[in-house]
Structure 1
Amino acid sequence: MKVREIMTTHVSAANTSDTIDEISRKMKELNVGTIPICDHQNHVVGIVTDRDIVVRGIGDGYRSSDKIENVMSKELISITPDSHVHEAARLMAQNQIRRLPVIEDGRLIGIVAIGDLAVRNVYVDDAGRALSDISLPSRPMM
């Protein structure tokens, strides 16, 4: 099964000039924890999660009026729509992430989440392994 068959195609994106406050409100309004950040040609230049806002934003002393580009992840891990869903699960597990922007011709066309894999019974093992790897602590627990 290809990523295009399970991805979400209606993805709300933002741009680098948006503020932390604007993105936070958008996340709350849309009930999402991740928003891709695109340039004016819809090329993904980063991604921001609710955790980024807390850890890199508030934790590092940024104000809600500061630009989201200060806290977004710029090292983007993405996938193409014609990739197999096993590849999506592998990338999620390897990089300890729960969502992948889907890029075609350099532009954002969707997003695939670990939940998209889990709801397909055929891929529940892949999703489970990916979630297990994602859930490992990044440092030893005391």
Structure 2
Amino acid sequence: MTTVQSIMRAAVVHISVRDTMETAAQQMRRFEVGALPICDGEGRPVGIVTDRDIVVDVVGQGADPKTTTAGELAQGADNLHTVELDTDIDDAVVLMEQRQIRRLPVTDRGVLVGIITEADLSRNLSEDTVGEFVVAVCSADLPAQTT
């Protein structure tokens, strides 16, 4: 059995619920990532913020990124899914496909220890598996085909 630990990115950058969206954007720029897990004071993931969230849900709504906190964005994020280190990679992919998740935090007894992204899947899984994943997760974002 191949577990998520074997393909996850262990050097995952995260932010605290108290960090502002300005801090999140600076971290995204510094580490060249488009999303950051949001963790509580004990390192447990409570949400994920993306660059799109900052633009659409903060700036686009007229909120101030210097004062809007990650915790505010994470409120109501009860749909956050995580997996434990020993989760079979096939089970993680099924979860990501079913829930249309592009980034999946990995935990060890609930504490963030890594993340699995689309790029991690593409580097580590077969072309067929990655193709099925893309169809399941990304097809809703593609423009409709016209014939």
Using structure 1 for the length normalisation, give the TM-score.
0.88
Relative CO higher for 1 or 2, CA cutoff 8 Å, sep ≥ 6?
2
Tell me what 1:28 maps to. 29
- How far apart in 1 are the matches of 2:85 and 2:127? 20
Tell me what 1:123 maps to. 126
Tell me what 2:55 maps to. 54
After superposition, the C-alpha distances for 1:20-56 in whole angstroms (9 at most, x for unaligned) are: 1110010011000111111121111111111211221
99-108 or 47-56, larger mean C-alpha shift: 47-56
56-65 or 97-106, larger mean C-alpha shift: 56-65
Contact 2:103/2:115 (8 A) holds in 1: yes
Contact 1:86/1:126 (8 A) holds in 2: no
SS at match of 1:86: helix
Question: How far 1:88 sits from its partner (Å)?
Answer: 1.7
Using structure 2 for the length normalisation, give the TM-score.
0.85
SS at match of 1:117: helix
Q: How many pairs are equivalent?
A: 141
Counterpart residue identity of residue 107, structure 1: V
After superposition, the C-alpha distances for 1:80-109 in whole angstroms (9 at most, x for unaligned) are: 111111112112211222110001111001
Counting aligned pairs with the same residue, the percent is 34
Contact 1:89/1:127 (8 A) holds in 2: no
Which blocks of at least 5 consecutive residues in structure 2 are unaligned?
none
Tell me what 1:105 maps to. 109
Question: How far 1:70 sits from its partner (Å)?
Answer: 2.4
Counterpart residue identity of residue 123, structure 1: S
Question: How far 1:140 sits from its partner (Å)?
Answer: 8.3
Deviation >4 Å, runs of 4+: 138-142
Superposition RMSD in Å: 2.1
- How far apart in 1 are the matches of 2:107 and 2:126? 22
